[in-house]
Structure 1
């Protein structure tokens, strides 16, 4: 009896510190194809709204449009946004994210989202009706002050003087006038694609949770958190709404300042790349990321891959740089979990340095296992 060819879907995220998502997925796919030469191997890159999200969409129908913006320290920067039909896609990390800091030097009080506002202006120039803003990976904790100011908002201190468009300015702002916002925004839907669900203020808020990784001291964290509460009042924002603390409070700036809405990143990206269509007919789905740990099932793109595949009754396999936790995987029908560090005999530096070759090897092993299971 002749059986139809196997169909495998590869949908991994980036392996941070080693490989971007496209390279990682291609390596896994090559390994699978070597073991299953007659199989159809489909690839759909995934992301969760942080850095690398734009790259995934540019591989799936969006066109790259060059834009002149500003980085997190306001230095001029040439970047790109995505454009498809009547929608645009802007990735904060690509514009003014932490990866864009000069010399990778943290500047928690002075990093700004001004450049993000310039990118939104560039998107408006394209005449689109919908702008998605992926806001993960930010360098700043300015509550979206820079974003709003670049779009025409005016923020002043108690003396009526303009404040700087950063966390330092947020400490001083006592009034914000949104009447000067770009009028084109009234005809455009603004959607923040978030990779976290933190509120704006409090112990789980933007300053307390993410301030340390952006360079804020303990004293600055307390001051910025208090400033976020005042900023929230000025915007008429509810600081407890999940996602408003994303990107150092940019979520709040979009939700209340731009009258936008928030949406989780991973489901948005999977829908945008046509994951559910690619899933149809697959016998196995392979996903993964650099480090699989206790946080991987909370909002990360590979977790959304597992959930959708499980709902469709398709077995899944995980390939990660390292695996620190397997909690919850049995409930999602995961049939195989492998770590590059194990393939590298426990050598972490080798696992990172030879990640591409090891992913190809892991893909080949999964392909052989699938071939053996077929009647």
Structure 2
């Protein structure tokens, strides 16, 4: 019997938020795969969509990139240390780039206790200001994973916007503060860097309304059902101060921080698509026998701007099969060649989250075993050994 030739496997997962980084997920799945198929060629491409792990995904692409630490005010007013990424100019005369994550500066993982109405985006604004002070001429801002629903008010305040209440005093923090908005003074607002601001989003929700930030994402941040209407009204009042339409696609991303960045002049784009392009995934997928992607929770939102949905879309024209690894799976996995949920392997969500890397190794082994039984489905195109 002729031995099966080695396959080319591309592993490009998102992070399992609060459980494992994208790099840890990719390495664990690869380790499990290699226990079954040790001769296969494996490439790792940890992904992100503008949320947690954006810095980690982009940093390896730029060898001269420098992680810089800044002390910020977390979304619960507690001081915290955060990092942003400085990417020096690639050529003489070109400008430098700063990459800042909302998730690491005003993110939900920084909260000791959820506080949907009080959490704010000040820390994100402080990190942006630090990047501007360092002289960057372009910003890439990832806005997934927020703790706040303040419309970006806290961020804008840190960038020099004076948002005032009916007495002429600065508004308080969070969504509650946004609801006090009566006027805005932009005379001291910091200008955009000369090469612009790119905003990486993972959702297309508007700021307000039934599909808006408060209605859709407020409950994830601790909002009670009875609070949603008031939170939405607060965002509407805040939005009325500016020319940006609160129904603009993506303005509800990051607890409405997308709206605040549009006010400042930022351009919102798909985070997963941008990072996939930077990592050259369209070409790398074409040259693979199998793409493995994954995320912590595969649900009805996964196909809209998230990593797994974007990569499955990129793979469709190439007919490269796509396998899914997820912490939990709550909707149909039609369109994937194979799938495995860590909760199914571990028995419970608690057990899976207690030792995710162990179950990710098992998941990789299971996918490899199934791949062997099904046989290779495609001959790789042009590979570099």
TM-score (normalizing by structure 2): 0.87
Offset, 1:17: 4.6
List runs of 5+ in structure 1 lacking aligned partners: none
Instruction: Report the number of matched residues.
Output: 366
Quote how far apart the aligned CAs of 1:151 are: 0.9
Does the 8 Å CA contact 1:207/1:221 hold for their aligned counterparts? Answer: yes
More helix by share: 1
d(CA) in 1 for partners of 2:340, 2:306:
18
Does the alignment pair 1:81 with 2:118? no
**Equivalent in 70, 84, 103 of residue 67 of structure 1:** 70
Alpha-carbon distance, 1:27 to partner: 0.9
Counterpart of 1:305 (choices 288, 311, 327) is 311
Instruction: Return the alpha-carbon distance in structure 2 between the equivalents of residues 142 and 350 of structure 1.
Output: 35
| 1:97 to 2:97 alignment | no
283-292 vs 271-280, greater mean Cα deviation: 271-280
Aligned to 2:221: 214
Shift of 1:71: 0.7
Alignment pair present for 1:166 and 2:167: no
Q: Quick check: 1:120 aligned with 2:128?
A: yes
Q: Which residue of 1 aligns with 2:345?
A: 343
Q: CA deviation at 1:129?
A: 2.1
TM-score of the aligned structures, taking structure 1 as reference length: 0.89
Whole-angstrom CA distance in 1 between matches of 2:174 and 2:350: 37
Q: Distance in 1 between matches of 2:193 and 2:343?
A: 51
SS of 2:229's equivalent in the other structure is: helix
CA distance in 2, matches of 1:217, 1:347: 26
Counterpart CA distance in 2 for 1:324 and 1:216 is 23
Whether the aligned pair in 1 keeps the contact of 2:74 and 2:106 (CA below 8 Å) is yes
8 Å CA contact 1:149–1:165 kept in 2: the answer is no
Q: How many angstroms does 1:284 deviate by?
A: 0.7
CA distance in 2, matches of 1:190, 1:181: 15
Q: Which runs of 5+ in 2 are unaligned?
A: 89-95, 378-385
Distance 1:374 1:305, change over 3 A: closer
State yes or no: 1:182 paired with 2:190: yes
The Cα RMSD (Å) is 2.3
In the alignment, is the contact (CA less than 8 A) between 1:42 and 1:278 conserved in 2? no
Please name the residue that 1:269 is paired with. Answer: 275
* Cα offset, 1:6, TM superposition: 1.9
Q: How has the CA–CA distance of structure 1 residues 214 and 339 changed in structure 2, closer, same or farther, with 3 Å as cutoff?
A: closer
- Secondary structure in 2 aligned to 1:108? coil
Distance in 1 between residues matched to 2:308 and 2:46, nearest whole Å: 10
Residue 255 (structure 1) aligned with residue 262 (structure 2): yes
Deviation at 1:220, TM superposition (A): 4.1
